[in-house]
Every structure is written in structure tokens, then in C-alpha cells.
Amino acid sequence: MNHKKRILLTGVLLASAVVSGLLTYTRANAVPVERVIHITAKNFQFSPDSITLKKGEPVVFEISSGDRKHGFSLRAFGVRTDVLPGKVSRIRLTPDKTGKFTFSCDVFCGDGHEEMTGTVIVTE
Amino acid sequence: MNKFDRRGFIKLAGLGGGVVFASSLSRGFGLNALGSVVDYANGKAQNDFYFVQLSDTHWGFAGPKVNPDAEGTLKKAVQAVNSLEVQPDFIVFTGDLTHTTDNVQVRKDRMSQFKDIVGGLKVPTVHFMAGEHDASLDRGDAYQEAFGKLNYTFDHKGVHFVVVDNVSDPGASVGESQLNWLKADLKQQKTDARIVVLTHRPLFDLYPDWDWATKDGTAVIDALMPHKNVTVFYGHIHQENHHMTGHIAHHSAKSLMFPLPAPGSVPKKAPVPWDASAPYKGLGLRSIEAGPKQAKYEIKELNVTGA
């Protein structure tokens, strides 16, 4: 192999190594796609009031109110937010445990507040 | 006998002049007339007394499957208290006097009707406090107009009573301002002072998923902790519950409208349906015998009909 061919081959090998490295880096550092779950709080009910997630799956709850101020609290994962009319409140969560967990309105909103709850089910 | 015996008290009190309170008295104490206890060692008289706690009357609630006598239960409770042979020194209502409503005028009307009914109590001294049904939707405006302050203190025969508001914030917090007020008040009390806290929600995390907690209740308990003799009486959960946080005892009272299930015992919190075979089951009021010298409180549950 003459000198020129050797330089060309070395260049090709180096380039492929760089491309391969970049691909590996990109894969390793890619932001996982979050599943968006829309929740509406209205008339003392959450809709949906039962949400199934997978352990380790990143999700974002987008919660809006259809009437008045509410709260959304998922105590098992230490997250809560106020839910105000005309705004979307977001909670990001990657469940690290399986089971059934209650979420509830934690801002007193009127007659029916006490029963304003729902369930998050996290499976393997 | 180491406990106050309410029945004995009533019986003896009915005998007329020279009445004595034949309650438990530890060594060094003697009997005086009308329930006074004399501490011979210190030569001081210290009165025992009793008060009555009513809670969660939810005036304005309507739900025949839960309480078909919604308009009569509070009135029966008033009769039950009035029929006690020896009237209590005072009465406390630990919140949710009225059932919540979005309509401001209806809220005010319910408070007015409630006041009219409890105005029939023979006992002249009644201390009110708010529940979230009374105060959360307007931050206590209508309540204060009808009943006065949301948080306050009073003293009675050697016991310092502190009323803590954990309901006018719809997010169930006591809040920094009230916490500072509480700390300033407690600073005036000796560490062995007899302190009773009256509040609506539990100050500890009884079952937060059902709103049975106070968001910053731990801060309240921390402020109380240096005091050796603290007892908390509260409502909100519509059933008896007795809990200790360190040396502080917390006692919840029954409702006078509908009972609620035990914490976490059912998937969704909802009133326990009326039991036609046992009317008023799970409802009630209580008398509390206070022995300030011993810092002891003897609770006796009474049913609505006063039997």
C-alpha cells in the first residue's frame, strides 16, 4: 500500500470512529420522550381519575381547571401543584416504585372537595 | 380511684348544700366545696372543672341517606347539653359549624340559623372556632362577621386555651403569621403550664390523602413541644381518634351530622350511611373533666339524645 492510500484509509477509519462516537454520545445523552397526560379538574372530579404508568417511564401531567382553583397532590411521590383556571400546571414524574397511589385535591374547593380523588397505578 | 368520675360528680352535686366533688385526689390534696381541690402542701385552691366539646355540626347539610334528621340533630344536642344535671363551665365548638356553600348569602344565613339554635344553650360561655366548611371559601370573612376571631386564647381556672386556625387558608396551613403569634403566646407561658389547644384539622399527619392533616402542623407541634402539659382537642374527621406526638395527646371528636369511615379503610372517603336500626350511631358530643393540678383530662362520650 502506497503512502497516499495509507493516509486515506487512516482518514476513513478516524472519521468512522468519530461518527460512531458521536452516535453513542447522542444516544447516551438523548432526553427521553415524556408521555404527556392531560388531567382536568372540574365539578369536584379529576378526569381521568385513574392513570396507569410504567415504572421508570417519564411522564408529565398537564393539569387544568375547568371551573375554580383546585390542588393536585400525589403524596406518594412528593409532588403537588395548585391548579388554576386558565392555566396549565405541569408535574414531571418518573415513577420509581410500583403500586396504587391516591392523588387528591388539597385545596378546599367546596361541597364535594372531600371526594375529589383519583388513583395512579404504576406497573413494572 | 384515680380518675374523675363524672357520674359520681353529678350524683353528689345533686345533693344540695355542702356538695363535694368526690373525684380522685392524690396524696396531699383534700376536698373543698363545689369541686375545689385544696393543695395542702402549697395552701392553694385549684378548681377542677368540666367543659363540653361539640363538633362538625354542618348546619345546612342535606342528605337523607346520611342523616334524615339533619335539621333536628343539632337541636337534640343542645337539649342533651341542657339536660346535664351539672352544667359545664363552658362549651367549645371545634369547627364546621355550617356546611359549605358557594352562595355567600346562604353561608351567612346558615351561620345565623346556627347561632339561633345554639343560643338555646343554658351555658352562657361558648367558644366557637371555624372549620374549612365555614371559612375556606372566603378566608373566614363570613365566619369572623358572625363569630369573631379565627385564632385566640382564653384562660380558665389555671388552664391556658389556645384556638388555632388551620382552615381559613384553603390549602390547610396555619401560616407563618399565626405561627409567630402562637410562639409569642407560648413564650408567656411557663414550660409546665396547663395548655389545651383547640383546632379543627389534626395537627399531625393522620391521613393526608383525605385532607386529614395540617400542612405546617409539624411546626405547630414543634412550637408546643417544650411545654410539658399540652393536650389537643380537634374535630374534622367525624370520629374519635386518640394519638400521641411525643408527650402531646391529640383527641378528635365525633360529628353531629354524619360519621366518616376510619382513616384509609375505604378507597374513597364518603359519609357513613344512616343506620335505621341504630339512629344517630356514630354521632355524639363529649364532656371533658379537667383536673388542672394533675394536668389530666377525662373524656366521656355522650350520645345525641343525651342518654
Number of compact structural domains in chain A: 2
Q: Are residues A26 and A39 in the same domain?
A: no
Contact between residue A67 and residue A85 where contact means Cβ atoms under 8 Å apart: yes
Co-location of A20 and A54 in the same domain: no
Q: Given this model, what pLDDT does residue B110 score?
A: 98
All residues of chain B having their beta carbon less than 8 Å from the beta carbon of residue A111 are: 99-102
Q: Are residues A62 and A109 in the same domain?
A: yes
**Conformational region of residue A97, where left means phi above 0, alpha means psi within -120 to 50, and beta covers everything else:** beta
Give the residue among B194, B165, B168 at the shortest CA–CA distance from B182: B165
- What's the pLDDT score for residue A6? 72
Model pLDDT, residue B217: 98
Q: How far is A66 from chain B (nearest CA, A)?
A: 16
- What residues in A contact B137, CB-CB < 8 Å? 108, 110
Domains of chain B: residue spans and CATH: 1-47 (no CATH), 49-302 (3.60.21.10)
Half-sphere exposure of B306 (CA within 13 A, CB side): 14
Residues A21 and A81 in one domain: no
Return the half-sphere exposure (C-beta side, CA atoms, 13 A cut-off) of residue B206: 26
Q: B207: buried, middle or exposed (CB in 10 Å: 19+, 13-18, 0-12)?
A: middle
Pair A25, A51 in one domain: no
| Contacting A residues, span 32-51, partner chain B, CB-CB under 8 Å | none
Q: Tell me, what CATH number does A72's domain have?
A: 2.60.40.420
Same structural domain for residues A100 and A58?
Answer: yes
For chain B, 307 residues long, give each residue's pLDDT as a single digit of tens.
Answer: 333 334 433 332 222 221 222 222 222 233 333 333 334 344 334 579 999 999 999 999 999 999 999 999 999 999 999 999 999 999 999 999 999 999 999 999 999 999 999 999 999 999 999 999 999 999 999 999 999 999 999 999 999 999 999 999 999 999 999 999 999 999 999 999 999 999 999 999 999 999 999 999 999 999 999 999 999 999 999 999 999 999 999 999 999 999 999 999 998 899 999 999 999 999 999 999 998 888 889 999 999 874 4
Please indicate whether, in this complex, the C-beta atoms of B268 and A71 are within 8 angstroms of each other. Answer: no
Phi, psi (degrees; rounded to nearest 5) at B146: -90, -40
**Cα of B181 to nearest chain A Cα, Å:** 24
From the CA of B92, how many Å to the nearest CA of chain A? 24
> In whole angstroms, how far apart are CA B271 and each of B93, B131, B281?
20, 17, 12
Mutate to test the interface with B, among A114, A119, A121 (most CBs of B within 10 A): A114
Closest CA to B101 of B114, B118, B119: B114
The runs of H, that is alpha helices, within B215-293 are: 217-224
**Cell, residue B258:** 354524619
- Domain residues for the domain of A84 are 35-123
**What residues of chain A lie within 8 A of the CB of B172, using their CB?**
106, 108
The shortest C-alpha distance from A111 to chain B (Å) reads 6
CB contact under 8 A, B209 and A113: no
Contact check, Cβ <8 Å, A115/B137: no
Which residue in chain A is spatially nearest to B131 when comparing CA positions? A108
Q: B269: which chain A residues are within 8 Å (Cβ-Cβ)?
A: 114-115, 117
Q: Answer yes or no: do A108 and B102 touch at CB < 8 A.
A: no
Within a 13 Å sphere around the CA of A34, how many CA atoms are in the beta-carbon half?
15
* Helix-helix angle B73-82:B104-118, to 10 degrees: 30
ipTM: 0.81
pLDDT of residue B135: 98
B216 part of contact set with chain A, CB < 8 Å: no
Across the interface, whether the CB atoms of B101 and A111 are under 8 A apart is answered yes
Side by side, the strands of the sheet bearing B36-39 are B29-31, B36-39, B44-47
Contact between chains at A107 and B270 (C-beta distance less than 8 A) = no
Read off the pLDDT of each residue in A82-111 and give the average, rounded to a whole number: 97
B residues 93-112 closer than 8 Å to A (CB): 99-102
Same domain for A10 and A60, yes or no, is no
Q: Which of A46-55, A97-106, A113-122, B36-45 comes out lowest in average pLDDT?
A: B36-45
Q: Examine the domain organization and report whether A62 and A4 are in the same domain.
A: no
Contact B230, B247 (CB under 8 A): yes
Residues A62 and A84 in one domain: yes
Cβ of A104 and B209 within 8 Å?
yes
Q: Do B170 and A107 touch (CB under 8 A)?
A: yes
Rounded to 10°, the helix B176-187/B217-224 angle is 10
Residues 6+ apart with CB under 8 A from B262: B239
- Residues in chain B, overall count: 307
Same-domain check for residues A44 and A26: no
Q: How far does B286 lie from chain A, in Å, by closest CA?
A: 25
Contact B172 A109 (CB under 8 A): no
Average pLDDT, chain A: 88
pLDDT at A113 over 50: yes
Segment 119-148 of chain B within 8 Å of chain A by CB: 132, 136-137
What's the rounded Cα separation, in Å, for the pair A66 and A85?
A: 6
| A114 vs B contacts (CB less than 8 Å) | 210-211, 269-270
